Amino acid sequence: MNYSYDRIAGTSVERLAALSDGIFGVAMTLLLLDLHAPAKELIHSEADLWQALAGLCPLLLVYLMSFITLGIFWVGQQTQLNHLERSDRNLTWIHLAFLFLVTLMPFSTRLLADFMEYRAALIVYWFNILLFGITLYAAWGWATRAELVKVDLPIENREAICHRIIIAQSLYACGALLCFFSTYLSICFIILLQLNYAIAPRLMSRK
């Protein structure tokens, strides 16, 4: 009886994609809820306002980094889902674990924004990204082993998904290690890496 249930549970890729879109949308929105305009009682001149806005720049940088992070991993997950013929119970739960990590992103972002100068905050943030990669890699590995992938997907495309995750996570790890020299250097490296993944492919496709 349980075996029969397991065979029919969690088979809809479309429902999984819909849930993913909703959770990513909420997480991206929550990123900015803790970002507030300067307190009005502290602003007495144009110069005060500009100074207060300048003080928000580091926070905006971290929030931008997290928004791009979520965008990159949303694309990564959707790429996998788009090439699935169907899902199964195990694959659905792996993707649910991935979505749980998405819900933690606003927390790790706020931690880094508040304690940008501390390595621990950067490591927690990077660990969130690392778990993103691990769960996506596990999801694709299971999908290919369980033959859930569309049969017309070329083998090189299947391998490309795995290679991209491995290379990206290796580069993120290098960025995290830079925090032992400077957390600000580490953040800048991660942002440049994200911009490369988000923008560079488009620029290359226009050539």
Closest by Cα among 66, 144, 74 to 106: 66
Please, which pLDDT band fits residue 143 given cuts at 50, 70 and 90? confident
Q: Is residue 166 within 8 Å of residue 40, measured between CB atoms?
A: no
Please, which pLDDT band fits residue 200 given cuts at 50, 70 and 90? low
CA 62 to each of CA 109, 117, 191: distance values in angstroms, whole numbers, following the listed order:
7, 12, 9
Q: Within a domain: residue 122?
A: yes
Q: Within a domain: residue 77?
A: yes
Q: Is the pLDDT of residue 95 over 80?
A: yes
Query: Which residues sit opposite 84 in a β-bridge?
Result: 149
Q: Within a domain: residue 1?
A: no
pLDDT score at 3: 55
Q: What percent of the chain has pLDDT over 70?
A: 83
Average pLDDT, the chain: 82
Q: Within a domain: residue 94?
A: yes
Q: Within a domain: residue 2?
A: no
Range of the domain at 149: 7-205
Please, which pLDDT band fits residue 39 given cuts at 50, 70 and 90? low
Q: Is the pLDDT of residue 205 over 60?
A: no
The number of distinct structural domains making up the chain is 1
Q: Is residue 142 within 8 Å of residue 76, measured between CB atoms?
A: no
Predicted TM-score of the model (pTM): 0.83
Please, how many CA atoms are within 13 Å of residue 200, restricted to the half-sphere of its CB?
Answer: 7
